[in-house]
Amino acid sequence: MAGGRLPFVTREGGGGEPRSEFVCGFLGCDMQPFNPVLSTLPPLLRIKRPCNGSEDLLSRLIDLTLAEARRPRLGGESIRLRLSELVFVEVMRRYLETLPAHETGWLSGLRDPWIGKILVMLHEQPAYPWTLNELASRTCMSRAALAARFTHLVGHAPMHYLTLWRMQIAARLLADSSMKVAAVGREIGYESEAAFSRAFKRTVGISPAASRGNAAASRRA
C-alpha cells in the first residue's frame, strides 16, 4: 500500500471455501502540529450497517470506490481520493451520532449548539481578531460561562484553541506553498513576521523556516 500498488491481494490459509474479502484503504493527513479531529478519535472505529433497512450511504460510497478501483480509467485516482474523503466524512457522522451526551472532545464540542457555533466561526475566519468578549457576545453567553463550557468540551480555552488552529493552517501553508513567512503570518492574522515567528515557535517548538525545511525533507524521503 505504501508503495502505491493498489489494489493488492493477500492470500492466507489453505485456499478453500468459504472465501472472505477484506477491502483496505488509506487516507493520510497531518497530526502535527494540531489536528483536532484525529486527536479526539479512538484508535479503532467499527461502523455497522443499518439494521432497519434504511438506505446506507456508506455502503454506496464504498461500492462506488470499488467500482472505480476495478476499472482503471482516466481520472480514476482523483475520483477515488474524493470518494475516500466522503467515506471518512460519513464515518465521522455515524460516530458523532453514537456519542453519549456526557462525552467530551472536539466532536462533542462541534455537536454543542453554542460551542459548535464558535468552532465554525473560528475555522471559517481564523485571521479575524477574535476576542473572548466578541465570541461571548455572538453566542449570548457570559465570558466565564463560554470559557468554562468551551474548555470542558474541547479541552482548550477558546483563545488557545484559536492559536493552535492558526498554527495548523500556517504549517500547511509553509509545507505546500511558496508563500513568504510574513505572508503566511498575515494569512492567519499576524501583522508582523516577528510576531508570527514567535507565536509559531512557542506553539510548534520550531521556527517557520525549520518547519518548511522539515516538510521539504519529508517529501524528498
What tens digit of pLDDT does each residue of 110-141 get? 889 999 999 999 999 999 999 999 999 999 99
Whether residues 84 and 16 fall in one domain: yes
Which three cell numbers, joined as nine digits, stand for 60? 454506496
Tell me, what amino acid is at 134? E
Which three cell numbers, joined as nine digits, stand for 208? 517557520
Return d(Cα 49, Cα 57) in angstroms, integer: 10
Whether residues 17 and 65 fall in one domain: yes
In terms of residue numbers, what domain contains 45? 1-98
pTM of the entire structure? Answer: 0.76
Give the DSSP letter string of 34-79.
--HHHHTS-S----PPPSS----HHHHHHHHHHHHHHS--TTHHHH
Whether residues 90 and 28 fall in one domain: yes
- Calculate helix-pair angle for 158-176, 208-220, nearest 10 degrees: 50
Instruction: Give residue 215's pLDDT.
Output: 82
Look up the CATH number of the domain holding residue 211.
1.10.10.60
**Residue 17: strand, helix, or coil:** coil
Whether residues 89 and 23 fall in one domain: yes
Tell me, what amino acid is at 221? A
Which value, in Å, is the radius of gyration of the alpha carbons in the chain?
21
Domain endpoint, select from 98, 115, 137: 98
Whether residues 24 and 86 fall in one domain: yes
Return d(Cα 219, Cα 215) in angstroms, integer: 6
Q: In the chain, which stretches have pLDDT less than 70? A: 1-17, 19, 31, 52-54
Dihedrals phi, psi of 31, to nearest 5 degrees: -90, -30
Whether residues 131 and 167 fall in one domain: no
How many domains does the chain fold into?
Answer: 3
Whether residues 88 and 2 fall in one domain: yes
Whether residues 94 and 117 fall in one domain: no
Dihedrals phi, psi of 195, to nearest 5 degrees: -65, -40
